[in-house]
Amino acid sequence: MVEPTELQAPPRRSTLPPPLRPVKKRRSFAWLWILVFAGLCYGGYRYYQEIRRKQVAATQAQAARLAKRAVPVATVNARSGDIPIYLRGLGSAAAFNTVTVRSRVDGQLMAIHFQEGQFVEKGALLAEIDPRPFEVQLEQASGQLVRDEAQLKDARVNLARYEALWKEKVIARQQLDTQRAAVGQIEGTIESDKAAIDSAKLQLVYSKITAPISGRIGLRLVDVGNIVRASDPNGLLVIAQLQPIAVLFTIPADNLPKVLAKLRSKTPLRVEAWDRDDRNKIATGTLLTVDNQIDPATGTSRLKAVFDNKDGALFPNQFVNCRLLLDVQRGAVIIPIPAVQRGPQGTYVYVVKPDSTATLRPVTIGTAEGNDVAVEDGLHTGEAVVIDGQDKLQEGAKVEVRGTNRRPAGRRAAK
């Protein structure tokens, strides 16, 4: 084995940089993509412009066709007439008079001469209280009267005798005066006896209970055989006067001065009662009076009307819609409510001119009643207004009248 005589040094690394390789140049295509994208955008914009132009042209063509084509509408001629001015309010019917019939004497209820729900006339016999106790009282009072009359007769005879003796100076003056006082006492007792007889007769009259008013009887409150007393709070029955009948209703307090002016001038005001749906008229009456105060909670005033109610259509506590005829507007220009349109410029109507074109006409409307409304300004009698098809109209559009009513439907004004 040969041992090395010296250590071998490790090879040195070169500190010089490696030689540079030649770089190949790359071509950039970014500008090409930008040109392609710009071309696509331009082509899309031109395509959009073309589509938009075609849509506008189609819209204009359709508008032109529509302008040339007549729009079907229904018209009605404005008419001149009278339209009523009503004040409306909610109300309820109430018995014109209500009486709780009570016994005026104490006793046993012997008989009842009425049926529940029956209409009775004033003075009709309703019930009877046992009259025997009062007959006995009448006999006692009559007997007492006979006895006192006999005593009076005797006292007067003695008085005449004492007066003769006094003239002859046989008796003292005091004795004569005492006899005169005795006669006066007996005369007073007789008057009391007569009053007792009248009281007993009155009790007998009260034992027969009669109807104080004409009306409808409610449910019976006491049966035969019970002991009734004048102090009983419930009574025997209740009678409600339904012919005539009253209706209480309210109106806004702002309308009260006009109503009071009519009442002060003795002008009768008609009141109509309508059903809950406000479709059918139930009865017609007359305003009777106005309450003496305004309800501050609701700002309304209560009014009372009276109805004959001969057919019995109204019943106590029945809910009704009331219409108070305050006035009638004479000679107004009237059109149906569907003819009136509303827009930013206010209320207007479409008027069909003689050349079959429609024109927009601003109008001022007034009182409305039922299906009719009065036009205060902007329209004349006889002009045709559109009542159906306004949504397809514009100024100057050709129209084709497919339905015409010379006189619009609606409630007639009150005479």
**Cα–Cα distance measured from residue 62 to residue 64, given in angstroms and rounded to the nearest whole number:** 5
- pLDDT at 195 (0 to 100): 94
Rounded to an integer, the average pLDDT of 47-63 is 82
192 within 8 A of 149, measured Cβ to Cβ: no
Reply yes or no on whether the pLDDT at 404 is more than 70. no
Q: Residue 55: enclosing H or E segment and its boundaries?
A: helix 30-68
- pLDDT at 104 (0 to 100): 92
63-93 burial, b for 16+ CB within 10 Å, e for fewer? eeeeeeeebebbbbbbbebebbbbbebebeb
**Cα–Cα distance measured from residue 308 to residue 283, given in angstroms and rounded to the nearest whole number:** 9
Neighbours of 237 (CB within 10 A): 23
- pLDDT at 211 (0 to 100): 94
Rounded to an integer, the average pLDDT of 372-387 is 90
How confident is the model over 148-195, as pLDDT tens digits?
999 999 999 988 988 888 888 888 888 888 988 999 999 999 999 999
- pLDDT at 40 (0 to 100): 81
- Return the bridge partners of 284, or none: 272
Q: Please calculate the CA angle 116-119-125 and round it to the nearest 5 degrees.
A: 80
How confident is the model over 124-139, as pLDDT tens digits?
999 999 999 999 999 9
- pLDDT at 55 (0 to 100): 86
How confident is the model over 332-343, as pLDDT tens digits?
999 999 999 998
74 within 8 A of 386, measured Cβ to Cβ: yes
Higher pLDDT, 30 or 369: 369
Integer CA distances (angstroms), 107 to 16, 130, 277, 325, in order: 149, 6, 50, 53
Give the DSSP letter string of 274-291: E-TTS-SEEEEEEEEEEE
272 within 8 A of 369, measured Cβ to Cβ: no
- pLDDT at 15 (0 to 100): 56
- pLDDT at 46 (0 to 100): 81
Neighbours of 3 (CB within 10 A): 4
Q: Mention every residue, 6+ apart, whose C-beta is less than 8 A from residue 336.
A: 76, 371, 372, 373, 387, 408, 409, 410
Reply yes or no on whether the pLDDT at 4 is more than 50. no
Mean pLDDT of the chain: 86
**Cα–Cα distance measured from residue 378 to residue 355, given in angstroms and rounded to the nearest whole number:** 20
Is residue 29 very low, low, confident or very high in pLDDT (cuts 50, 70, 90)? low
Highest mean pLDDT among 24-28, 269-273, 399-403: 269-273
Reply yes or no on whether the pLDDT at 414 is more than 50. no
Rounded to an integer, the average pLDDT of 72-83 is 89
Residue type at 355?
D
- pLDDT at 336 (0 to 100): 92
104 within 8 A of 205, measured Cβ to Cβ: no
Using a pLDDT cut of 70, give the percent of the chain over it.
Answer: 88
Higher pLDDT, 22 or 280: 280
Q: In what order do the strands lie in the sheet with 208-210?
A: 208-210, 125-129, 107-112, 227-228
Cα 121 to its chain centre, rounded Å, is: 31
Residue corresponding to tokens 């007789």:
190
Rounded to an integer, the average pLDDT of 278-295 is 92
Read off the pTM.
Answer: 0.65
Name the residue among 220, 239, 233 with its Cα closest to residue 109: 220
Domains of the chain listed by start with CATH number: 68-85+331-405 (2.40.420.20), 95-228 (2.40.50.100), 243-329 (2.40.30.170)
Which structure tokens are listed for 33?
């993509």
Is residue 19 very low, low, confident or very high in pLDDT (cuts 50, 70, 90)? low
